[in-house]
Amino acid sequence: MADLLAAARGFQNELRTRAAEIESGRQLPADIARRFAEAGFYRACVPDTYGGLEVDALALSTLIETLAQADGSAAWCVMIGATTGLLGAYMPPATARDLFADHNLILAGVYAPRGKAVEEGDHYLVNGRWQWGSGSPNATFIAGGCMVMRDGKPQTTPSGVPISRMMLVPVKDAELAGNWDVSGLCGTGSQDFAFKNLRVPKAMGVDLITDKPLPRPLYAFPAFGILAMGISSVMLGLARASIDALIALAGGKTPEGHRKPLAARAKTQEDVAEADALVRSARAYFRESIAAAWDEAQRGGKLSVDARRNLRLAATHAARASVSAVDLMYNLGGGTSVYKTSPLQRIFRDVHVASQHMMVAPPTMELAGKLLLGQEAEISQL
């Protein structure tokens, strides 16, 4: 893991320098994506038995956070590519070995079951369209969640829950819409994509809820918990970057109508201290929850409902704290913050777009609260 972190730090200066290029291109430049793959970033969650790195959960979070301190879009692409590598732990071994034989493979995907998959022997006939195809311009394969259909109706489990599977196909067989034109995380290439009448081998369809993954600590973590962790890690990195940017600005700026530089004003001092405390405390709780879950996974091979709840609660809290810290720094920057030359405007936009992801959205707090209060709750995607 030390090599991964060293590589991530080695990219930071370049990512800061190329931030405008990443944003204006609306996707991660191909050369950066290729070098990320060569550094092993996209293999972080791939099982080591298939040539992956299978890092521990804290190491994954630290990798993503480190990249996000330099550029949110780049970190988001790594987060999506790395966490999609979890699919390997759910696949038949022969399929996974073939897929991950390419160590520079880049995956992308969306869980939301907006597609339909009709069983046809050893294949599925798949159709669907998905939003948020982050990293898709540079991906080799892309996955889309699909309801499994039979006789025109969704198949269900014995308890009546509809069955959905993530169908993984070569990007060359998908249709990319090129419609990623948004306010933040502009360089992630998170365009819509579609599958039209694609025949997908059953071995390339994974159910992250009912399929049994490899019995290793990383795969004892719920896939949605890992995704929430990744999103919050991006946001924590952005929050730290906003504090660093404001500190760099404050020493040389004297606000209009004031005699003292920004750094000498009491309001600046108070808000910087508050932002720093917000980020440090949220990060500590976040990492504590990840470490506790990891220990439980190592001991018992699965996570209790309490551990899963705590993981999602800590991730959502970290996301909220990150937004609050960035807002404080953006407001302190005043008029300077709105110029494209200021990293604060990009960080502000990026963190607010990240905060809209359902894995860290307000309903997560409601779910955690229900469980803390001993109320009945739907926990299949916890």
Each residue of 58-70: pLDDT tens digit? 999 999 999 999 9
Each residue of 334-361: pLDDT tens digit? 999 999 999 999 999 999 999 999 999 9
The answer to whether position 102 is within a domain reads no
We report the CATH number of the domain holding residue 64 as 1.10.540.10
Each residue of 235-293: pLDDT tens digit? 999 999 999 999 999 987 676 656 678 898 999 999 999 999 999 999 999 999 999 99
Based on the fold, state whether residues 326 and 196 are members of the same structural domain: no
Query: Bridge partners of 162?
Result: 156
pLDDT at site 255: 61
pLDDT at site 259: 67
We report the CATH number of the domain holding residue 311 as 1.20.140.10
Determine the Cα–Cα distance for residues 359 and 44; give it in Å rounded to an integer: 20
Based on the fold, state whether residues 238 and 362 are members of the same structural domain: yes
pTM for the full model?
0.96
pLDDT at site 260: 77
Spatial neighbors of 140 by CB under 8 A, at least 6 apart, are 102, 105, 106, 107, 170, 171
pLDDT at site 256: 63
Query: Bridge partners of 194?
Result: 129, 175
SS3 label, residue 196 = strand
Percent of the chain with pLDDT over 90: 89
Read off the pLDDT of each residue in 85-91 and give the average, rounded to a whole number.
Answer: 97
| Counted domains in the chain | 3
Based on the fold, state whether residues 283 and 360 are members of the same structural domain: yes
Selection from 5, 53, 32, 68 nearest residue 351 by Cα:
68
pLDDT at site 210: 87
Residue 301 has pLDDT above 90, yes or no: no
Amino acid at 340: K
Place of tokens 């990744």: 230
Mean confidence (pLDDT) of the chain:
95
Place of tokens 């040539």: 51
Which residues form the domain of 167? 107-206
Spatial neighbors of 331 by CB under 8 A, at least 6 apart, are 271, 337
Based on the fold, state whether residues 86 and 141 are members of the same structural domain: no
Selection from 172, 176, 170 nearest residue 201 by Cα:
170
pLDDT at site 190: 98
> Hey, how many other C-beta atoms are within 10 angstroms of the C-beta on 143?
26
Of the three residues 206, 235, 268, the one that is the final residue of a domain is 206
pLDDT at site 368: 95
Based on the fold, state whether residues 201 and 225 are members of the same structural domain: no
Amino acid at 33: A
Read off the pLDDT of each residue in 132-159 and give the average, rounded to a whole number.
Answer: 92
Read off the pLDDT of each residue in 282-311 and give the average, rounded to a whole number.
Answer: 96
- H or E stretch covering 126: strand 123-133
Selection from 348, 164, 166, 172 nearest residue 246 by Cα:
348
pLDDT at site 340: 93
SS3 label, residue 44 = coil
Length of the chain: 382
pLDDT at site 245: 97
Each residue of 96-132: pLDDT tens digit? 999 999 999 999 999 999 999 999 999 999 999 999 9
pLDDT at site 84: 97
Based on the fold, state whether residues 128 and 202 are members of the same structural domain: yes
**How far is the CA of 284 from the CAs of 221, 230, 289, 343, 353, in angstroms?**
19, 15, 9, 25, 23
> Hey, how many other C-beta atoms are within 10 angstroms of the C-beta on 272?
20
Task: Give 6: exposed, middle or buried? Use CB within 10 Å, 0-12, 13-18, 19+.
Answer: exposed
